[in-house]
Amino acid sequence: LSLVICWPHAMLLQFLATAHLSIRQWSSLRQVFRTAATMSARSTTFQYRKICASSPGTSAASQAAPIASVASTTGNPSGTCTSGTPSSTGDDSQSRDNSEAFTSIKGVIFDMDGTLTIPVLNFKEMRKRLNIPPGVDILPTVLKYPPEEKAHAMEIIKEFEEEGSKKMQLQPGLLDLLHFVAKSGVKRAVMTRNSMVATQVFLDKLYLGLSANSQKYPCLSRNSVFSEILTREFQPCKPDPAAVFHICRGWALEPREVAVVGDDKTDMMCGRRAGAGVTILLKNERNREQEDYSDFAVDSLSEIISLFSAPLTVS
């Protein structure tokens, strides 16, 4: 392997031309070539380091740049997945400290509504029906209501979710992103506060898209798209980091080895409190003021492919 990696190509070709190798030896050497190529291709992807921001509010995206080697920090230095306590008690929009550990992203956790699908839920009208003012998190608030009042409020929420399911469309670039992540050997999960019923509608649409494009996305199949799917039936819900810890335990990964992708500050807060390596906000017309809660903010899912195609520097 060191021969393949270190020798100049011309010298290596000359060696191969004069070497007398059996068919089995050639086959073994070809496998070495493939392994080296795979290692080389993956060595510059899905990696990150963190640096201190020069000042509060400095945009993480403005600090991004390809680098030869990457070091990381996280809000959870111990990297444990077993704690149910947020790893950071400070302002979630602020940067975290530095470390010298090298880090690769080995798993990506996706929000569903507005991230994997086009935003269609009318939260403004939902808040009006529930009498919950802007800025107050809907689901945690409703879950604290007395039983009878909570049941009535949940019925209202389900009405809006059912209407949203009828209009649901996959986010442009979704299949390309999922295939890119799968091809890179990175695990994938869904973490949503929507119901399992609505999540199944999304999965059915996703599987339909895969069936129609199976040759284009050979690394994805119905049974391999996501290894973990958590809906609101899992409690406590975002922004509590418990869901990230749960997924990390299932993957046998530390939170710093995971990226969280979403379209709301609750997704970003959940990731940061768990000590996730990278948080990425998918921007839309309703969330642009929430960019400071994320390490990166993108306009499309295809931009995430570009982000992870080279090592990241995160402030």
Among the listed residues 91, 97, 111, 137, the single catalytic one is: 111
* 128, amino acid identity: K
Q: For residues 175 and 220, give the distance between their C-alpha atoms in angstroms, rounded to a whole number.
A: 9
Tell which residue, 197, 191, 195, 201, has the closest CA to residue 169: 201
CB burial string 161-190: b at 16+ within 10 A, e below:
beebbeebebbeebbbbbbbbbebebbbbb
Among the listed residues 92, 113, 240, 267, the single catalytic one is: 113
**101 Cβ partners below 8 Å, 6+ apart?**
71, 72, 73
Q: For residues 134 and 124, give the distance between their C-alpha atoms in angstroms, rounded to a whole number.
A: 8
Clarify whether 113 is annotated catalytic: yes
3-state SS of the chain: helix, strand, coil percent to 5? 45, 10, 45
Q: For residues 309 and 302, give the distance between their C-alpha atoms in angstroms, rounded to a whole number.
A: 11
From residue 187, alpha-carbon distances to 121, 190, 247 in Å are 28, 11, 10
Clarify whether 111 is annotated catalytic: yes
**Helix/strand/coil for 229:** strand
Opening angle at CA 103, ends 193 and 183, nearest 5: 65
Instruction: For the chain, list the strands marked E by DSSP.
Output: 47-50, 103-104, 107-110, 187-191, 228-230, 258-262, 278-282, 296-298, 312-314
What is the 3-class SS of 175-218, one letter each residue? HHHHHHHHHCCCEEEEECCCCHHHHHHHHHHHHHHHHHCCCCCC
Provide the CB-side half-sphere exposure for 235 (13 A, CA). 5
Residues with catalytic roles: 111, 113
